[in-house]
Amino acid sequence: MIKKLSSNEKRKIRHRRLREKIKGTPVRPRCNVFKSNKHIYLQVIDDINSKTLTHANSLEKDLREKYYNKELKYRDLIKEVAKRLAERCKKLNITKLVFDRGGYKYHGNIKKIAETLRQEGIEL
């Protein structure tokens, strides 16, 4: 009997295949995306030095409270997390990123993250 792969296992395979092609450098670090059912996590990574330069996620206290109190919808929460990441990148003088979609399809929320980063002045 052949075991079927779960959608998350398929995503991990796609992500591994993507990561062979995408590398973050100190000049142009990699912006990694991970999303769970409730939260979104963004990291800016320098792969050459193996360092996470900055990050933003929906578990930050004020965002989490607004989301759980229904002040923010999920799509607005995603935009807010992307804006925070862009602000933190600007503080570190990072204006160019390589966008690593983490094996997710480039539509919906992943596309919204990329568009928000571009609107905030980050070149992808």
For the entire predicted model, the pTM comes to 0.87
What sign does the CA torsion over 32, 106, 114, 109 have?
Answer: negative
The predicted-structure confidence for 41-50, as pLDDT tens digits, reads as follows 999 999 999 9
The domains of the chain, with CATH numbers, are 7-119 (3.30.420.100)
Confidence of residue 2 (pLDDT cuts 50, 70, 90): confident
The predicted-structure confidence for 26-73, as pLDDT tens digits, reads as follows 899 999 999 988 899 999 999 999 999 999 999 999 999 998 998 888
Q: How far apart are CA 119 and CA 98, in angstroms?
A: 16
